[in-house]
Amino acid sequence: MTATPTLTPADTDAIEEIGPPPRSNRTWLVRIISIVVVMAAWEYGGRQVNPLFMSYPSAIARAAWELTANGELPKAIGQSMFTLLAGYVSASIFGIVAGLLIGRYRDVEASTDWIVNALYATPLVAVVPLVVLWFGLGWEAKLFIVFKITLFPVLINTAAGVRNVPAQMIELGNAFCANERQIFTKIILPSAMPYMMTGLRLGIGRALIGMVVAEFFTAITGLGAMIVKYGNQYETDKMFVPILVLMLLGIALTVGVKRLEDWIAPWKNQNND
């Protein structure tokens, strides 16, 4: 009979050092190839279409350079980012605090759930005329719209995270005579953190939508103003520039929140591993 080979500790250590092949390089390679293929197809297909209806990457790049050189694009980005960040940060703070209270205390939930459901179900476009009456066409109207549309994903996800904290953990804290502040900081917040971060990521997309809608219908400034302006002038290449900037902003902000989640809640990735 053939003897069964055995692994020495040195062999085991060598295998662990080798490990599975890294996937990060392959992932980036596949991603870059897909981007190149899509851009090449867009370049070819866009040139076959009337420029009134479609543009292509090289024309959009030239338009972006022109708009950047004359200062119009940086100014519009600055105006939109100020509104976006102010509305997003204020809505996130308010949504997290309100979500913690609603998820933790039944009386708070009973007194506010109908308001939250009613406002969340109200279409944003239906509220815009009322916002104009309240705040006019200035910056305040844009801030209110971004705040309103960003608030509910953060609030609802935070409240859901608090409700999903295992009751045994709360009971254990009470058994060790933990006060309410300790239960919040040591049990509820760490357990609800993944839900809160999901709400923050969802809120970014909603904030971008609210910002553009606000710039369409209220103060005609920022990236939304550029889309309206060049759309009305049928300059499709220039109209695509702010649209692509909005896409890149959404990606960058989403990645930023994901990095923030990895920093605040590193145990979440360890559990996934």
**Of the candidates 243, 268, 273, 248, the residue with the CA atom closest to the CA atom of residue 258:** 268
> What confidence category does residue 265 fall into, taking pLDDT thresholds of 50, 70 and 90?
low
Give the pLDDT of residue 1: 45
| Domain enclosing residue 211, as ranges | 60-263
The burial class, CB within 10 Å (0-12 / 13-18 / 19+), for 76 is buried
Residue type, 101: L
In a domain, 4, yes or no: no
Whether residue 273 has pLDDT greater than 60: no
In a domain, 273, yes or no: no
In a domain, 51, yes or no: no
In a domain, 45, yes or no: no
Summarised one tens digit per residue, pLDDT across range 220-250 is: 778 888 888 888 888 888 889 898 998 888 8
Query: What does the DSSP assignment read for 210-255?
Result: HHHHHHHHSS--HHHHHHHHHHHTT-HHHHHHHHHHHHHHHHHHHH
Summarised one tens digit per residue, pLDDT across range 157-206 is: 999 888 888 777 777 777 777 777 777 778 878 888 888 888 888 888 88
Question: Percent of the chain, pLDDT > 90?
Answer: 7
The predicted model gives 63-79 an average pLDDT of 89
CATH number of the CATH domain containing 73:
1.10.3720.10
In a domain, 26, yes or no: no
In a domain, 198, yes or no: yes
Give the pLDDT of residue 155: 92
In a domain, 55, yes or no: no
In a domain, 167, yes or no: yes
How many structural domains are present in the chain? 1
